Amino acid sequence: MSSTASAVGRVREISGWGGQSVRASEIRAEDLESATRGAVIVRGLGRSYGDSSLPPPGRREAVATPLADRILSFDEGTGEMVAEAGLALSAVYRVLLPRGWFVPVTPGTWHVTLGGMVAADVHGKNHHRDGCIGEHVTRLRMRLADGRIVECGPDEEPDLFRATLGGMGLTGHILEVGIRMARVPSPWIVAEHLPIPSIHDFLRELDTSAEAWPFTVGWIDCLSRGSAMGRGVLFRGRWARPGEAPATFPMPYRRPSVPFRFPEWAMSPPAMRAFNESYYRFHTLRPGRRIEHPQTFFYPLDAVGGWNRIYGHRGVAQYQCVLPRSRGADAVVRLLEHLTERGGTSFLCVIKDCGPEGTGLLSFPMPGVSIALDLPMRDDTQQVVDALNELVIEEKGRIYLAKDALTRPEHFRAMEPRLEEFLRIRRRYDPNSAIRSAQSVRLMGDPA
Amino acid sequence: MNVVLIGATRGMGRALARLLAARGDTLFLLGRNEADLERSARDLEVRGADGTVHVARCDLEDPRTFGPALERAFDSLGTVHTVVVTAGMFAPQEALESDRELTARLLHVDFTATVLFCEEVRERLLANGGGTLCVFSSVAGDRGRRPVALYGAAKAGLSAYLEALDHRYRREGLRVVCVKPGFVRTGMTADLDPPPFASEPAAVAARVLRAIDAGTPLVYAPGLWRVVMWGVRMLPRAVMRRARF
């Protein structure tokens, strides 16, 4: 009924998904309205890789939303759902997919909360067609830094709304989210896996697939050089029509978790090269069309719990950037060459073409090609990221804040001409940066 | 199944109510805060509860609210098959030792008031020819232990009452299910360090639902605690005096 335990949370370690931790406690709250009063930063399920969900160095607590997970309304006519910010995407899957509805945009994991999806303005395999999640958000209920609770949406406090989509939780604490869900013809996916021999073919194939396929994404082998550079597998899919799909519901499944943090040699370059080689060969052997479980199609990594532990005690630095379309395929080649020259190796490299920029003021995607890399944290990882960032600035691209742990503030400013406007709006609602994160201290000059 | 729940807006009660909703049961929620009850009611409706989920104000601290609230619930549902009590109060031993008022409140809520609530339910269920009363006690009541001297005492009393109630009325159709959860990660325990085998509300709820359906009189959740607490009950006093748990 009530907890009267002392308000001081225990000091533990909290970390982003990349695994670099800070000493701080997570305050798990069912009642977000009271827990967010005076809170410095709010986090969801902690799936952003870097430090965006971590409190600034001088503070020792972050409010966590996953216990605030009630669905407040769902309109079967319009598809609009309103829910508390901590509702996980995995719960949306269980509750709405059997009834023929799903989120219009999903990231590559379902262990995210609605609040986190809005804060990062997540994109998915259908970005070329449906944009970011922000394009489907109907309203937000937020607690501002001055303690007020306000509603915002496309037509209400539009500046606050724009700045909050992709604003990494820095404009206010998201309490409730309204999203227009998408109708799906069946809960299954029709998918095709196509082996692609080179990066140029890859970009062409992404382009031609975009017409007919709402979901496209590619895995590329960024360790091979020469003519095989950027060979990979293109995955494309769509929701199956009722006649094509099995009559059963694709029940969520779970495979064993990674039980402990692997030693560092597990992710050595030869091991990664071997994995990339066999992954490519595996898909060359079995190309073609199939009916796929949506969990396999959208969330392949979620099947293994705690998969980030394979990167060992130092964790992983994800790096994701988008390079503008106008720079052409060569920009992507330059980035991959840059990476391999610097000895950067990536176990996983994901490529996706992005559609137009959306409403979110700091949202990541722009028309062009997005590349996501897993860089095991090593002594030289900072230098690798610096070098990649310099290239991204040259190509007029940008990075994804939800992944970032290592970008320098001067680099961030150089690639974000939109930052000034974001900060101007944020100052209007929070002049003293009372709401801030480790990331905003690092990148935006907030007080520690 | 028609179910009345008190404490279903949060924690394990919320998780259990969602499982009941997902299989299409009819629910009626009792609790202190009507606005909060309404939010939970909408959540349960979207998750599959049959028809509208109605609510009534009922404060476990205030036994005067029990009769009227239960009356509304029984009227609304027609036949009540099951009543679930997950509401309760927790405070750490240190906080209780320095605050007599808090201690009195906790002992009142977790023992006296909960028993009085169960008595109201007993009368009504027996008048209807029987039903299931499922109440959340705790492993903390199984043995006098240093960190839960006061909370554990209230739960020990509650567990003893529930066992006796089951012995006394099972033949007349009242099935009592006493649930003893171990450490569960809910808002109630958010400020505590989770010990080994801490579990999630959803896992506890699944086990409790099976116990309600089967009429199991005593259920540890997760099941591992049955073995752990058997071991703890067997420990000699001399060992318990030194034990930190």
pLDDT tens digits, residue range B144-199?
A: 999 999 999 999 999 999 999 999 999 999 999 999 998 888 877 777 777 777 88
Residue type, A354: C
At B14, the amino acid letter reads: R
CA distance A72 to B36: 11
Spatial contact of A91 and A62, defined as CB atoms under 8 Å apart: no
Q: What is the pLDDT of residue A5?
A: 33
pLDDT per residue over B210-221, tens digit each?
Answer: 999 999 999 999
Q: Do A27 and B190 touch (CB under 8 A)?
A: yes
* Whole-number pLDDT of residue A257: 81
pLDDT of residue A305: 80
The pLDDT, as a whole number, for residue A250 is 96
The predicted-structure confidence for A274-308, as pLDDT tens digits, reads as follows 877 888 888 777 778 999 999 999 998 887 788 88
pLDDT in tens, A131-183: 999 999 999 999 999 999 999 999 999 999 999 999 999 999 999 999 999 99
Across A33-37, A163-167, A378-382, B105-109, least confident range:
A378-382
Over residues A45-60, the pLDDT tens digits come to 999 999 999 999 999 9
Cβ <8 Å between B46 and A28: no
Q: Return the higher-pLDDT residue of A333 and B161.
A: B161
**Predicted confidence (pLDDT) per residue in B54-102, tens digit:** 999 999 999 999 999 999 999 999 999 999 999 999 999 999 999 999 9
Contact call for A3 and B109, based on CB within 8 A:
no
Identify which of B11, B39, B61 has the shortest CB distance to residue A70: B39
Does the distance separating the beta carbons of B102 and A4 come in below 8 Å?
yes
Residue A309 has pLDDT above 90, yes or no: no
pTM assigned to the model: 0.93
pLDDT at A344: 67
Give yes or no for residue A10 having a pLDDT over 70.
no
- Comparing alpha-carbon positions, the chain B residue that sits nearest to A3 is B188
User: Over 60: is that where the pLDDT of A8 sits?
Assistant: no
Q: In terms of Cα–Cα distance, which of B123, B13, B28 is closest to B67?
A: B123
What mean pLDDT do residues A111-140 have? 98
Among A285-294, A361-370, B119-128, B222-231, name the one with the lowest average pLDDT: A285-294
Residue A344, both tokens: 């950067």
Residue B21 has pLDDT above 90, yes or no: yes
- Whether residue B48 has pLDDT greater than 90: yes
Helix (H) or strand (E) holding B174: strand B174-181
What is the arithmetic mean of pLDDT over B114-125?
A: 98
Asked whether residue A415 carries a pLDDT value surpassing 80, the answer given is yes
Nearest residue of A to residue B85 by CA position? Answer: A1
Nearest C-alpha neighbor of A389 from the set A353, A413, A419: A413
Q: Quick one: pLDDT at residue B139?
A: 95
The ipTM assigned to this model is 0.92
What is the Cα–Cα distance from B200 to B11, expressed in whole angstroms?
Answer: 9
Q: What is the pLDDT of residue B146?
A: 92
- Here the tokens at position A86 are 């901590």
Q: Identify the pLDDT of residue A230.
A: 78
Inter-chain touch B90–A12, beta carbons under 8 Å: no
Contact between residue A123 and residue A182 where contact means Cβ atoms under 8 Å apart:
no
Distances (CA, A) of B134 to B17, B64, B166, B230: 13, 21, 11, 22
pLDDT, position A3: 37
Average pLDDT of the residues in A78-104: 97
Instruction: Please tell me which residue of chain B has the smallest CA distance to A61.
Output: B191
Q: What is the mean pLDDT of residues A93-101?
A: 97
* Beta-carbon separation of B190 and A10 below 8 A: no
pLDDT of residue A265: 80
The pLDDT-based confidence of A367 (bands split at 50, 70, 90) is very high
Q: How confident is the model at residue A11 (pLDDT cuts 50, 70, 90)?
A: low
Distance between CA A392 and CA A371 in Å, rounded? 11
Among A302-316, A351-365, B49-63, the least confident range = A302-316
The full length of chain B comes to 245
Q: In chain B, which residues have their Cβ closer than 8 Å to the Cβ of A1?
A: 7, 32, 60-61, 87-89, 109
The DSSP 8-state label assigned to residue B61 in this structure reads: T
Instruction: For residue B52, give the amino acid letter.
Output: T
Percentage above 90 pLDDT, chain B: 89
Supply the pLDDT for residue A143. Answer: 98
Q: d(Cα A110, Cα A299) in Å, to the nearest integer?
A: 7
- Which of A14-23, A143-152, B125-134 is the least confident region? A14-23
Considering only the beta carbons, identify the residue of B11, B42, B91 that sits closest to A5.
B91
* Confidence at residue A6, expressed as pLDDT on a 0 to 100 scale: 33
